[in-house]
Amino acid sequence: MARKLIRRFVPDTDQIRSHKNLQFLGKWLHNPKLWHLNRRSVAGGAAVGLFMAFIPMPLQMLPAAVFSVIFKFNMPIAVALVWITNPFTIAPISYFAYKLGGLLLGLPIHDIAFEPTWEWLVTEFRWIWQPFLLGSFVVSAVSAVTGYFLVHALWRMHVIRDWKRRKLRRASISP
């Protein structure tokens, strides 16, 4: 089943509960719904994780964990999917979000010559912040909705395939 596949990649529940950065959630981490692997929980965790992945903020895992606790979705899935944006992918994703936001706002795309300085950030950010934030929110929302329905569809396909296999197995065993 889909649960067996997911269990291979998700860390142990006790390991996550004892993680030092999640201790502020306290007793809420002991809610079994946060660890349960069913279609609703995993799809919701995927939606939360994908939404938070594209929101431009530091420590995205913490809000993903908090939202999964609030909505009682699978926390390991939500926290893991935040890592879609990582040091290798953040630049192209941010540029795409900026271009998308500029397109949606009807603003010209400002040529960006990146310099890793505070002065550059302050100077350039005043030109790019609106399209960048709008694009990031749109990418977040679209990826969350897409991820939610994709997980539902894949889970359903997996369950139907297992039903068919069992039916064939029973048909070959019966006299």
**The pair of three-digit structure tokens given for residue 146, joined into one six-digit string:** 């897409």
More confident residue, 49 or 116: 49
* Distance between CA atoms of residues 64 and 47, nearest Å: 10
Do 76 and 45 contact (CB within 8 A), yes or no?
yes
Do 10 and 35 contact (CB within 8 A), yes or no?
no
Q: Looking at residue 122, what is its pLDDT? A: 78
DSSP symbol at 37:
-
3-state secondary structure 50-106: HHHHCCCCCCCHHHHHHHHHHHCCCHHHHHHHHHHCCCCCHHHHHHHHHHHHHHHHC
* Distance between CA atoms of residues 90 and 124, nearest Å: 17
DSSP symbol at 117:
S
Average pLDDT over residues 18-45: 74
Q: What is the pLDDT of residues 83-113, one digit of tens each?
A: 999 889 888 898 899 889 989 988 888 777 7
What pTM does this model have? 0.77
More confident residue, 140 or 11: 140
The CA distances from residue 126 to 77, 95, 100, 122, in Å, are 35, 15, 17, 7
More confident residue, 28 or 70: 70
* Distance between CA atoms of residues 14 and 73, nearest Å: 17
What ranges do the domains of the chain cover?
2-173
